[in-house]
């Protein structure tokens, strides 16, 4: 009785197959850095098991976590848009199993197959939209002291 949603549900069955054909399964131990802010975004991942933290480098303190990702989530989207550099860092919070993709190979596939490219861009766009909505909701500090309404 599971919903098994996540990034891949944004694609049709054949498109999912086409994308996954480009993947290899990788494992990270707990506490591993997957990528760092500013580096070239040459790969991306879909988490299958475990938890990944997105963090920001702040001098003099351990990187604050801005969001955590789990099974089914897309880890990284900067690989799809110029300048192809990570805006955040990512680190595992537990042992993680993930599908790993070579960004150049996926971008190349998008360029050769516009239907696939459009679907994948829409799927990544909806992930970015969800994260933007989440970030905005957190800016509102909804659970903070009431300023005229809401518990």
Partner 1 sequence: MNVPQPYQVVGRDRETADTVTLTLEPVGDPLPAFRPGQFAMVYAFPRGEVPLSLSGTTPSGTGLTHTVRAVGPVTSALAGLRPGHHVGVRGPFGTPWDLAAARGGDLLLVAGGVGLAPLRPLLLRALDEPRDHRGVALVVGARTPADLLYRDQCDTWAQRAPVAVTVDRPEPGWTGNVGVVTTLLDRVPYQPRNTTAYLCGPEVMMRATARDLVHRGVPASRVFLSLERTMRCGTGHCGQCQLGPLLLCRDGPVVAWDRAEALLAVREL
Ligand X SMILES: Cc1cc2nc3c(=O)[nH]c(=O)nc-3n(C[C@H](O)[C@H](O)[C@H](O)COP(=O)(O)OP(=O)(O)OC[C@H]3O[C@@H](n4cnc5c(N)ncnc54)[C@H](O)[C@@H]3O)c2cc1C
Closest CB 6 distance from partner 1, rounded Å: 6
Q: Interface with ligand X by CB under 6 A: which residues? A: 146-151
Looking at beta carbons only, is 59 or 149 nearer to ligand X? 149
5 binds, among ligand X, partner 1, none (CB under 5 to 8 A by kind): partner 1
Looking at beta carbons only, is 23 or 93 nearer to partner 1? 93
138 binds, among partner 1, ligand X, none (CB under 5 to 8 A by kind): partner 1
The SS3 assignment for 59 reads coil
CA–CA gap between residue 74 and residue 34 (Å, rounded):
13
CA–CA gap between residue 56 and residue 95 (Å, rounded):
21
- Cβ contacts of 66 within 8 Å, gap of 6 or more: 54, 55, 56, 88, 135
The pair of three-digit structure tokens given for residue 107, joined into one six-digit string: 């971008």
- The beta strands (E) that lie in 73-116 are given as 74-75, 89-92, 96-102
Closest CB 83 distance from partner 1, rounded Å: 26
Q: Interface with partner 1 by CB under 8 A: which residues? A: 1-6, 51, 53, 62, 64-68, 70-72, 93, 130, 133-134, 137-138, 140-146, 149-151
């Amino acid at each position: 009785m599971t919903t098994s949603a996540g990034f891949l549900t944004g694609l049709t069955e054949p498109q999912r197959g086409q994308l996954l054909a480009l993947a290899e399964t990788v494992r990270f131990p707990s506490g591993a850095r997957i990528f760092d802010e500013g580096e070239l975004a040459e790969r991306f991942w879909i988490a299958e098991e475990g938890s990944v933290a997105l963090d920001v480098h702040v001098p003099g303190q351990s990187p604050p976590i801005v969001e955590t990702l789990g099974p089914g989530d897309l880890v990284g989207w900067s690989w799809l848009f110029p300048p192809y550099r990570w805006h955040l860092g990512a680190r595992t919070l537990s042992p993680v199993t993930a599908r790993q993709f070579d960004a150049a190979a996926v971008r190349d596939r998008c360029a050769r197959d516009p239907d696939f490219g459009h679907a994948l861009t829409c799927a990544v766009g909806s992930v970015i939209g969800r994260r933007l909505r989440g970030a905005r909701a957190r800016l509102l500090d909804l659970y903070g002291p009431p300023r005229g309404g809401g518990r």
